[in-house]
């Protein structure tokens, strides 16, 4: 079974440029998460999707960040314009979610995208 796929793995851009990250979750997983991980810290949630609905985007800086999960499968996270402080690793995770009336919340992570903003 394929794991969570993310691309690109690395991205270097200049400040004020736009950037986009793509994530394909494990097949059949209804819940998709985007996390931000700064150096030396644990991941912090940016947004959580249940199918195609963003059910929690309270931590997403909406002035410059946007996300979508069309058709409830793969997802894209965008930053426009990027700032120096956005340099970090962006992680995508998925979990099975609600199935048969039971929540399966074990998260599985992709390899992440390391963003460097110059």
Partner 1 sequence: GIQVEQSPPDLILQEGANSTLRCNFSDSVNNLQWFHQNPWGQLINLFYIPSGTKQNGRLSATTVATERYSLLYISSSQTTDSGVYFCAAQPYGQNFVFGPGTRLSVLP
Query: What tokens appear for 98 in the block?
Result: 């609600």
Query: What tokens appear for 4 in the block?
Result: 């969570």
Q: Distances from the Cα of 84 to the Cαs of 14, 24, 76, 102, 117, in angstroms?
A: 8, 27, 21, 42, 5
Residues 77-96, one symbol each (x = binds partner 1 by CB under 8 A, - = not), give ------------x-x-x---
Q: Which is nearer to partner 1, 14 or 56 (CB)?
A: 56
Q: Say how many residues touch partner 1, by CB under 8 A.
A: 19
Closest among 52, 55, 64 to 25, alpha carbons compared: 52
Q: Which is nearer to partner 1, 8 or 18 (CB)?
A: 8
Q: Distances from the Cα of 4 to the Cαs of 1, 17, 25, 29, 59, in angstroms?
A: 10, 27, 5, 10, 22
Q: Which is nearer to partner 1, 27 or 41 (CB)?
A: 41
Residues 40-79, one symbol each (x = binds partner 1 by CB under 8 A, - = not), give -xxxxx--x-------x-----------------------
Q: How far is the CB of 118 from partner 1 (least distance, A)?
A: 20
């Amino acid at each position: 079974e394929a794991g969570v796929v993310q691309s690109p793995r690395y991205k270097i851009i200049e400040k004020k440029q736009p950037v986009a990250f793509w994530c394909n979750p494990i097949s059949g997983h209804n819940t998709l998460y985007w996390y931000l991980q700064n150096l030396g810290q644990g991941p912090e949630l940016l947004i959580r999707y249940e199918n195609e609905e963003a059910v929690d985007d309270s931590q997403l800086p909406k002035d410059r960040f946007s996300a979508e999960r069309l058709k409830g499968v793969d997802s894209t996270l965008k930053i426009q314009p990027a700032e120096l402080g956005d340099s970090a690793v962006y992680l995508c995770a998925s979990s099975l979610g609600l199935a048969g009336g039971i929540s399966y919340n074990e998260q599985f992570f992709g390899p992440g995208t390391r963003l460097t903003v110059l």
